[in-house]
Amino acid sequence: MSIPNLLALIRLILTPVAMALILASPGNTTMSIVATIVFAVAAITDFLDGYLARRWRITTTLGAFLDTVADKILVTGALIALVAVDYTNIWYAFIIIGREIAIMGLRSIAALDQGTVPPSMWGKWKATMQFVAISLAILHLDIMIGPWRLDQWFMTAAVVVTLISAGDYFSKFRSVFSPRDKAD
């Protein structure tokens, strides 16, 4: 197994660990810090696995699949745990998770027509914003900026970038929803 694929598997394994730590973190600063570190390590593997696969020219269909699935599971698992401990708004989690599912479906449909669907710059910004926002939400610091805590501002920004990213993908691949002429 290649190192990039191993990193994606590590991300999958760290997800339930991060979730358990998040669920145990309310009222326990040490547990919040440990949960944040575990989540951050898992998030860093996302950037590392793709970078190494491209640098070493060992990109594979399996690797792209593992990377995508591991990302979605990490973000979804963390958001579900954060909602469970009331550290983030359920609507934010719904929007982010809904976008992830919708884009996975879009990429699957587009792949039938056009082969692979490369990640966009908005997709990369989306991942970065989500990872930062989730890390700050896990820490749940009491740093107020106006009416909201710091993590709430970042989660709001992550939702906005998530929606822009979704619009970008649907705009680029709208042709997959156009009717096709069938040969008789």
Tell me the two tokens of residue 43: 């998030």
Evaluate if residue 25 carries a pLDDT over 80: yes
Grouping H, G, I as helix, E, B as strand and the rest as coil, residue 148 is strand
**149 φ, ψ (degrees, to nearest 5):** -75, 160
- Decide: 64 and 116 in contact? Cβ < 8 Å: yes
| 97 vs 90: CA distance, rounded Å | 10
Maximum average pLDDT range among 82-86, 101-105, 170-174, 178-182 = 82-86
**60 φ, ψ (degrees, to nearest 5):** -135, 165
Q: What residue ranges define each of the domains in the chain, with the CATH number in brackets?
A: 3-174 (1.20.120.1760)
pLDDT in tens, 96-105: 999 999 988 8
Burial class from Cβ neighbours inside 10 Å (0-12, 13-18, 19+) for residue 136 reads buried
Tell me the two tokens of residue 130: 């989500």
Q: How many CB atoms lie within 10 A of CB 135?
A: 18
Q: Which amino acid is at 41?
A: V
pLDDT in tens, 128-147: 999 999 999 999 999 999 99
DSSP letter assigned to residue 115: S
